[in-house]
Homo-oligomer: A and B are copies of this chain.
Amino acid sequence: MIPLGAKADKATVRRHNLSLVLRTVHGTGEVTRAGIAARVGLTRAAVSSLVEQLLGYGFITEWGKTSSGQAGRPGTVLKVARTGPAGVGVEINVGHIAVCVVDLAGTDRVRLVEDFDSRGMQPSRVLARAARLTARALDSAAGQGLEPVGAHVAVPGLVTGGTVRQAPNLGWNRVAVEGVFAQALLALRPLRALPVSSDNEANAAALAELWYGAGTEGARSFLYLSGEVGIGGALVLKGELLRGAHGFAGEIGHMVVDPDGRPCRCGARGCLEQYAGQAALLSTAGLGADAGAPGVAELRRRARERDPSALAAMERAGRQLGVAVSGAVNLFDPDVVMLGGVYRELSEWLAPAVGRELARRVVSGLWDRDRSRLRPASPLSDAARGSAGVVVREVLADPAAYGERGGSGPRRTASTAGR
């Protein structure tokens, strides 16, 4: 986008239009040159010149002729290439690490997940393990003709300027996540530095939902809840992730449910996390606060069998969640609330109580009847995929910056992308 304070000159306009054409091919799935011209309002000659440039980069490919069923004379169909630039997403969570490689079209081409409990482990050891998994994913991507241009790491904590400022549930404090991860990866793949960026886990999951989610038809403004050991949150408004003034927005787990209540890892009292987080939920259900993913599976099983203490635990957590989420909805006015992480798996039992509080407490009255506003998140739209998507979006936003190297890799060669 040409910023409000900048003049619009010829080179800027061409670069802008190059991105516009690539995003049109991406957005439509398949389209002819004439179809692009009609959509974006540029002349066919201008579109043809921009298409040639993108074909030269290898970012789009020609794919046969349109059938006679379509309007106008048949044209060559263009699609986003299945080879070439790709994004790598890395999710580091308390119970697992996931790595995902997504191509320019947004397709999940590689997905590797390792379950392991990283609590109490040195951050550098956790990141070295993530780097090993990433190196395997990169080999697999190379075998498919993909050329990753960057990696984006998601961590459940406050992340800014390449640093995890605080991730209470991992036990991390001031960890230079981008630098440490980039070094670990470089040690495994000498001379092949990959730019690394980073973000909060719930933010990345919300972006996955926005870009690739099945449940987001028409939902461009939503509150995303990531139920894990902690509770992450992210706010998307009109298709844009809200980061706040310092990048710390979305910390719904620390909204107050009981001002003088249970102590929280953050140092305060009465935070939502202590009433509706995974540990609180499992403990109320009599399964042990540290029962982890197997505990959640057991809770589901019991709830399906209508075990009273499992149902009561969900009702209680759902109500507390609903009180906090109602406050967030009054404040932020989203169109939809997405239940992600373990909340997705448990949404059948949590959603009724959450919905009741929303109906009762949201002043706009928009949540009274319309229960479709409260939805489980999409299964494959996780933080790893969203992170990979962040890298892919950078290419779509400015193809010239990546294409001028002839598709041989990212233009930036520093080990970290920085901020």
Q: Are B245 and A238 in contact (CB under 8 A)?
A: yes
Which of these, B235, B268, B327, contacts A256 with CB under 8 Å? B327
- Residues of chain B within 8 A of A328, CB atoms compared: 331
Copies of this chain assembled into the complex:
2
Instruction: Write the nearest CB–CB distance from A27 to chain B, whole angstroms.
Output: 10
The proximity string for A residues 200-237 relative to B, scoring 1 for CB distances below 8 Å and 0 otherwise, is 00000000000000000000110000000000010101
Give CA–CA (A238, B242) in the complex, Å.
10
Whether A109 sits at the interface, judged by CB under 8 Å, is no
Q: Which of A140-148, A288-296, A332-340, A341-349 contacts B (4 or more CB under 8 A)?
A: A332-340
Q: Which of A12-20, A61-69, A187-195 contacts B (4 or more CB under 8 A)?
A: A12-20
- Residues of chain B within 8 A of A2, CB atoms compared: 1-2, 8, 16
Residue of B nearest to A364 (CB): B248
Whether A380 sits at the interface, judged by CB under 8 Å, is no
User: Could you tell me which A residues sit within 8 Å of B by CB distance?
Assistant: 1-8, 13, 16-17, 20, 40-42, 158, 165-166, 220-221, 233, 235, 237-238, 242-252, 254-257, 259, 266-268, 271, 319, 323-324, 326-328, 330-335, 360-366
- Show 25 residue pairs from A and B whose CB-CB distance is below 8 angstroms, ordered by the A residue: A1-B3, A2-B2, A2-B8, A5-B20, A7-B40, A8-B8, A8-B16, A221-B244, A221-B245, A238-B245, A243-B333, A245-B335, A246-B333, A246-B364, A248-B363, A248-B364, A249-B331, A254-B362, A255-B330, A256-B323, A256-B326, A256-B361, A257-B259, A268-B361, A331-B331
The list of the 10 closest CB pairs from A to B, nearest first, reads: A244-B333, A221-B245, A255-B327, A251-B330, A245-B335, A249-B333, A248-B333, A248-B364, A268-B361, A1-B4
